[in-house]
A and B are shown apart, each in its own frame.
Chain A
């Protein structure tokens, strides 16, 4: 039984491995380093990379859509209400329900996963991008117009750089949210680190798989969070100067 778990997780045929299975795995102790090390390069690394890939695609597409909407809303304020309403609706739908309802329409594939994931980024990215753009003080904009910048130039050279901290803050929230939801998606479309977790429930409660994939997933989210927090500081040296450091 335990040998089957290993075989199923490695993706290969189910071969009983009683001869080589360690005592730790047989007794299903809390965490078996040997099992984890054996499957590190064959199972965990590919799952981690796939997880990152699915998350990055969702945030990139989500940002492209949200950015266009936010710039539009910045120019025409009436756009704000319907976009906020619609993206809030999408955001409130529980993710597992969204994945389950999409499957009969779009099938069990990455497209389904990405549709749902993108829809969850929109509210965060739209709200923050718009907040960043709206936060630019009118005096600064007057100065920009005063030195002869066109509206597009003012947007690209003045408003966007000033809005950057808030925009990055939004991307940061979106990234960690999506890393989490990609794990949920694995229940419907097996992929990424979530696949390892749900496979381990499906076969038997195998502790090492839970802890291994769970800790990797948490580390991925925390590293991504720290990365964007750092990026925020690097891209806005004036904010650091204002803080006095």
Chain B
């Protein structure tokens, strides 16, 4: 039994070409999905946050998005797009975009109104307020949303192997060809990848946090903190958002 777990490592070193190849396609698939989700979610969320409107929509979209079971979404699009990468990418984007949108909305919406007033007071135009004041202050939380989605996508892209796409799931779902040690070895790589992407995003968030916000536990914004919130590291929005449906 424990032998299987050792053999998992042997598989990685013996078949390193295969593992690296699938790891590469896994990363490409994940990156494409996250990128599309960012292109959809961030501008829309930032815009809605900037005008402080449609909060109901911006917040509930991720309530619904989070509730969608990934396998079910992959399954119902299969008849539409057929087996392969397209189905997988569309499903992943649908699942990844809502948290990005909601976080971007909350991030910009919760920027201290006094700060925004001060920016207007010194004569910045609306676009300048957005780009020079609201965006830098919102950036850490926006990236927290992207991290949430990215880690989720890396894990879920594995299902692509079952639904006809590539990636590490190709090995994990193909025990007939690669054996139990292949399945376990690829699982090791997948787990490492999930942790690596988590850590990478966390350090990146620290890097882009404006100096004035460092050490103030930014990332869990003031408004949410005061409500006794805890930002979930997972696929959700900060929990307290739901204690106060808007």
Residues of A that sit less than 8 Å from B by CB: 30-31, 88, 91-97, 100-101, 104-105, 123-124, 127-128, 130-132, 134-135, 165-166, 169-170, 172-173, 176-177, 179-180, 183-184, 186-187, 193-194, 197-198, 200-201, 205, 207, 210-211, 213-215, 217-218, 221-222, 224-225, 229, 232, 239
Q: Roughly how many angstroms separate A224 CA and B64 CA in the complex, as a whole number?
A: 11
What are 21 of the A-B contact pairs (CB < 8 Å)? A31-B79, A91-B234, A93-B191, A94-B154, A94-B156, A95-B155, A97-B187, A105-B1, A123-B233, A131-B239, A166-B239, A166-B240, A176-B66, A180-B71, A205-B78, A205-B83, A210-B79, A214-B73, A224-B67, A225-B64, A229-B242
Given contacts A96-B159, A225-B63, A229-B245, contact A183 B4 (CB under 8 A): no
Asked if B204 CB lies within 8 Å of chain A CBs, one says no
Please name all residues of chain A whose beta carbon is closer than 8 Å to the beta carbon of B236 when the two chains form the complex: 124, 173
Q: Mark B141-158, 1 if CB is under 8 A from A, else 0.
A: 000000000010011101
Q: CB within 8 Å of A: which of B64-80?
A: 64, 66-76, 78-80
Q: Roughly how many angstroms separate A214 CA and B70 CA in the complex, as a whole number?
A: 9
**Contact at A177–B234, with CB atoms within 8 Å?**
yes
Given contacts A94-B154, A95-B155, A229-B245, contact A127 B180 (CB under 8 A): no
**Contact at A222–B154, with CB atoms within 8 Å?**
no
**Contact at A127–B69, with CB atoms within 8 Å?**
no
Given contacts A97-B190, A100-B187, contact A183 B72 (CB under 8 A): yes
Give the residue among B4, B67, B227 with the most A Cβ atoms within 10 A.
B67
Asked if B232 CB lies within 8 Å of chain A CBs, one says yes
Per a CB cutoff under 8 Å, which of B76, B83, B230 touches A218? B76
- Beyond contacts A179-B69, A197-B72, A215-B76: 14 other A-B pairs, Cβ-Cβ < 8 A, are A92-B233, A97-B158, A100-B183, A101-B184, A104-B4, A124-B232, A124-B239, A173-B242, A187-B173, A213-B75, A214-B71, A214-B72, A214-B76, A215-B72
**Contact at B228–A135, with CB atoms within 8 Å?**
yes
Q: Mark B209-246, 1 if CB is under 8 A from A, else 0.
A: 00000000000000000011110111110011011110
Please name all residues of chain A whose beta carbon is closer than 8 Å to the beta carbon of B137 when the two chains form the complex: none
Interface of B is mostly: helix
Interface residues on chain B, size class? 35 or more
Please name all residues of chain B whose beta carbon is closer than 8 Å to the beta carbon of A100 when the two chains form the complex: 172, 183-184, 187
